[in-house]
Amino acid sequence: MKAVGIGIVLVALWSCVVSEIYEEADPCDTSKCFLPNCRCSDIRLNLTLNELEIPQLVSVTFDDAITALIYTEVIDLFKKIVNPDGCKAKVGFYVSHEYTDYSKVHSLWAQGHEIGLHSITHGTDSDYWKHATAELMMEEFGQQIDIIERFANINRKDIKGLKVPYFEISGDNSFVVADKLGLLYDASWSTQYLTDPGLWPYTMDYRSIQDCPIGTCPTASIPGFWINPLVDWTDDFGNKCVMMDACVVEDDSVEGIFQMMMKNFMVHYKGNRAPFGLYLHAAWLEKGDHNLEAFKLFLQFLNEKPDVYFSTPSQVIDFVKNPKTGIPFDNCRKTTRESCRSRLCPVKKESTGEDRWMTVCGQCPEVYPWLGNPTGKAQKKTTRRTRSTTKATTPLVKQNKLPVEDVSQTQEGTASNSRLLFPKFTRN
Ligand SMILES: [Zn+2]
């Protein structure tokens, strides 16, 4: 009964069609789960391939706002890096909305880099995400797609993945939301135990073997939705770190930092060849005296290896769908001619009254786009409602403004229902 009730509310909220129900996941059955659309969670890619002949994929991803400065820095780092197949190296960005320069997001996308979601508000802390309802997550990520599509002039079909801030897994919520949004994969889920050998990407059709060091494990079966696991590094003191910039080095010299990176890389390269992630915040490159230098040296070292390929997260999934030895991809990642009339817009952030400068492609928004108002329309001037998403999300915005404790209480009543029997929607 309750599931039906939730379904009615959600239909009203998202104007979608209920097509099926998420079931509780069963243990993985290899006789029923096979590529390209189903894969059991496993530390082995394929038993018929010699592991040391599997190309080593390296995924470099940057989290948070993309500013003009970060853009220049990253472009500079990767401009000379070409993979052994002759294709230019591409990286991933999990973009958070605030302070992001959308003309630079457009430019990165046009150059073939991958743009992923990292939410509109980024939340205040991990508790925000721990207690976030599926409805709030739908706003944070669904409306972020609207923002990116409109202000960075990017086709929403090219947005494939999401990373929840603080790597906070709150049961099924973020995965269900990502699936509803038509995304291909999640990149929020870290593992501390399946690091040596590392866990390969897999789908959520069946129950996962992955540990949940941050938050509550999901239990739903979400057919065809991929997990790009964040395989933790181990720092010089034996601590696990999800982001490489959180790893602590004993010797803060270029050589010391380089060696820490190398040690973690070799676990993958000499092991099962599970994709190696270099997950960081661009700001780390400017911290300390040696980070940037060590990072450059490490990229150069990787690039000299004949079987190391810099790949975006969705390229990693593509490879896992069709695993092989030798050259991993049939084609270079698609690039597009830039199409962005860049404009610097003075706008007010209505929730705080702050003045902001926002760089966008095309038309300036009337106010700073935010949760509940992704198009940045000045609410008072609007004579009629523009889109159903804006209309539908109004109550949820109010909910987001509640203190964290209140959000938590709101969540308590719905968590168990939404966890097990969340109505699934098709993207329309
Ligand atoms: Zn972040």
pLDDT in tens, 301-325: 999 999 999 999 999 999 999 999 9
Average pLDDT, the chain: 86
Q: Are 191 and 199 in contact (CB under 8 A)?
A: yes
Distance between Cα 11 and ligand 1 center (Å) = 30
CA distance 410 to 91: 38
What residues make up the domain containing 174? 2-321
The answer as to whether 220 is a domain residue is yes
Total domains in the chain come to: 1
Mean pLDDT, range 132-136, rounded to an integer: 94
pLDDT in tens, 77-125: 999 999 999 999 999 999 999 999 999 999 999 999 999 999 999 998 9
Mean pLDDT, range 410-420, rounded to an integer: 28
The pLDDT value given to residue 379: 80
Q: Are 224 and 205 in contact (CB under 8 A)?
A: yes
Residue 313, domain CATH: 3.20.20.370
The answer as to whether 399 is a domain residue is no
Distance between Cα 122 and ligand 1 center (Å) = 6
Mean pLDDT, range 207-230, rounded to an integer: 96
pLDDT in tens, 19-36: 357 999 999 999 999 999
The answer as to whether 145 is a domain residue is yes
The answer as to whether 349 is a domain residue is no
Distance between Cα 171 and ligand 1 center (Å) = 19
Q: How confident is the model at residue 294 (pLDDT cuts 50, 70, 90)?
A: very high
Q: Residue 350 has which token pair?
A: 């209505």
pLDDT in tens, 237-288: 999 999 999 999 999 999 999 999 999 999 999 999 999 999 999 999 999 8
| Residues 6 or more apart whose Cβ sits within 8 Å of residue 44 | 51, 200, 272
Distance between Cα 54 and ligand 1 center (Å) = 31
The pLDDT value given to residue 416: 29
Please determine, for residue 41, whether its predicted confidence score (pLDDT) is greater than 70: yes
Distance between Cα 324 and ligand 1 center (Å) = 33
The answer as to whether 366 is a domain residue is no
Q: How confident is the model at residue 178 (pLDDT cuts 50, 70, 90)?
A: very high
Distance between Cα 92 and ligand 1 center (Å) = 13
Please determine, for residue 148, whether its predicted confidence score (pLDDT) is greater than 90: yes
Q: Which one has a higher pLDDT value, 415 or 180?
A: 180
Q: How confident is the model at residue 426 (pLDDT cuts 50, 70, 90)?
A: very low
The answer as to whether 388 is a domain residue is no
| Residues 6 or more apart whose Cβ sits within 8 Å of residue 328 | 55, 57, 85, 309, 311, 315, 319
Closest CA to 253 of 279, 291, 285, 283: 291
Please determine, for residue 8, whether its predicted confidence score (pLDDT) is greater than 60: no
273 class by beta-carbon count within 10 Å (0-12 exposed, 13-18 middle, 19+ buried): buried
Please determine, for residue 158, whether its predicted confidence score (pLDDT) is greater than 80: yes
Q: Residue 3 has which token pair?
A: 């599931």
Distance between Cα 68 and ligand 1 center (Å) = 18
The pLDDT value given to residue 380: 67
Residues with CB under 5 A from ligand 1 (ion): 63-64, 165
The pLDDT value given to residue 428: 30
Distance between Cα 404 and ligand 1 center (Å) = 19
The pLDDT value given to residue 387: 40
The pLDDT value given to residue 405: 27
Mean pLDDT, range 200-206, rounded to an integer: 98
3-state secondary structure of 266: helix
Percent of the chain with pLDDT over 70: 84
Q: Residue 371 has which token pair?
A: 């949760």
Distance between Cα 62 and ligand 1 center (Å) = 9
Distance between Cα 96 and ligand 1 center (Å) = 7
Q: How confident is the model at residue 66 (pLDDT cuts 50, 70, 90)?
A: very high
Q: Which of 50-64, 199-213, 351-365, 402-416 is the least confident region?
A: 402-416
The span from the first CA to the last CA of the chain, in angstroms, equals 26
Angle between helices 291-303 and 254-269 (to 10 degrees): 40
Distance between Cα 301 and ligand 1 center (Å) = 28
The answer as to whether 316 is a domain residue is yes
The answer as to whether 8 is a domain residue is yes
